[in-house]
Chains A and B, each alone.
Chain A
Amino acid sequence: AQTIHQWPVAEIKAVGSPLSLGCTIKGKSSPNLYWYWQATGGTLQQLFYSITVGQVESVVQLNLSASRPKDDQFILSTEKLLLSHSGFYLCAWSPGQGRVFFGKGTRLTVV
């Protein structure tokens, strides 16, 4: 069975500080991987997707970047956090047909 692990579970960071969130998936080779962001009480916004190592497509610009250094790893980062970056970050993978399976998420608070 596939498992998706996100880290950290929660972060409190200062405005202007850097950020790195990670995600690994086990049990699935060459998965399609995604980063989603959700503001408190808001909808789910897809940020990035990647279908293979080293290849990342940006869906929406939020002064964030993503990388896929390994087949099973997806990293979300920024050098300078904004207050607007606060929210719930979700890594996900998809076997296709609109089925998306989410990790447990990272709750980010920027102060």
Chain B
Amino acid sequence: QQQVRQSPQSLTVWEGETTILNCSYEDSTFDYFPWYRQFPGKSPALLIAISLVSNKKEDGRFTIFFNKREKKLSLHITDSQPGDSATYFCADTGGLSGKLTFGEGTQVTVIS
């Protein structure tokens, strides 16, 4: 089964700092890597995604960096805010069926 690994398991940052989340995968059967954000007690929501043809995807304070050779991605959250406190999941798509394999998630806490 496809493995998606995330690190760290949890981290705490100060408001205004850059949060860096890591994700690695084995072999992707598709070419699209989404990140989801889940607030406590809520369902996950798509945050940002990158395709294999790109090395970087930016959306406001959120940026994905993609190292295809090493099969690693990182999500950077600049100017982190307390409202960014959530669990972040990266996922690997599994083809046309829409199967998603999620990582274990990284719980982020931003303190002011």
The residues of A with any CB-CB pair to B shorter than 8 Å are 32, 34, 42-46, 49, 51, 57, 59, 88, 90, 94, 96-105
Q: Which of B42, B93, B100 has the most CB of A within 10 A?
A: B100
* Contact assessment for B89 and A43 in the assembled complex, using a CB-CB cutoff below 8 Å: yes
Inter-chain contact B43/A99, CB cutoff 8 Å = no
- Interface check B33, CB cutoff 8 A: yes
A-B contact count (CB 8 A): 60
Main secondary structure of the interface of B (DSSP, over half): strand
Q: How many residues of B contact A (CB 8 A)?
A: 24
Within 8 A of A (CB), among B79-112: 89, 91, 93, 96-105
Contact of B99 among A42, A59, A101, A104 (CB under 8 A): A59
B residues near A, CB below 8 A? 30, 32-34, 36, 42-46, 49, 89, 91, 93, 96-105
